[in-house]
Amino acid sequence: MKLLVINGPNLNLLGLREPAIYGSTTYAQLQDFIQDICAEEHITVEIKQSNHEGIIVDMVQEAYGNFDGIIMNPAAYTHTSVAILDALKSVGLPAVEVHISNIFEREDFRHISYPSKACVKSFIGYGIEGYRKAILFLKDYINQNNKEKEAIKK
């Protein structure tokens, strides 16, 4: 199994950016955390980050045919990007949304998530543990879908 983890704007500043909201874990530590979980679960993972919406759209599009699923923290683009939503819908890969903070306990404008409309599940407000939950959920989701496809073929 091969997963793509996409992190959006300002996540490269984890540990520095508003630690009262996002915690003290650095982006490098988050990457190690994700790599370690995937290694334990025998999952190949690629982790990417961009502050640019179009690059994130390109990442999603390039995932088609190369990955089994996507885990995405769209960060601020959560609340504004129909383009990312459309890219997720276009590739049709199972996707899971992650947010370190609880977007529903923050400013009203953060309560909207466009990408979630193309995701099979969202993990919101679990800190970096949300990434673990997303990885484990997506692994099970993909495995279950593969079993169902095999059963239909028989």
Count of the separate structural domains present in the chain: 1
| Residue 99 annotated as catalytic | yes
Dump pLDDT digits (tens) for 10-57.
Answer: 999 999 888 887 888 999 999 999 999 999 999 999 999 999 999 999
The residue ranking higher by pLDDT, 109 or 130, is 130
Q: What are φ and ψ of residue 99, in 5° steps?
A: -135, 130
- What local confidence, expressed as pLDDT, does residue 147 receive? 85
Give the pLDDT mean for 125-136.
Answer: 97
Dump pLDDT digits (tens) for 83-127.
Answer: 999 999 999 999 999 999 888 777 676 778 999 999 999 999 999
The dihedral through the CA atoms of 98, 25, 133, 88 has a sign that is positive
Name the packing angle between helices 129-153 and 27-40 (round to 10°): 40
d(CA 122, CA 120): 7
- What local confidence, expressed as pLDDT, does residue 109 receive? 64
Position 137 confidence tier, pLDDT thresholds 50, 70, 90: very high
Pick the catalytic residue from 22, 27, 77, 131.
22
Pick the catalytic residue from 27, 77, 79, 99.
99
Domain range for 77 is 2-153
The residue ranking higher by pLDDT, 89 or 148, is 89
Give the pLDDT mean for 137-146.
Answer: 96
| Residue 79 annotated as catalytic | no
- What local confidence, expressed as pLDDT, does residue 18 receive? 83
Closest Cα to residue 53, out of 13, 88, 81?
A: 81
Return the CATH number at 94: 3.40.50.9100
Dump pLDDT digits (tens) for 61-82.
Answer: 999 999 999 999 999 999 889 9
DSSP for 53-108, please give it.
HHHHHHHHHHHTTT-SEEEEE-GGGGGT-HHHHHHHHHH---EEEEESS-GGGS-G
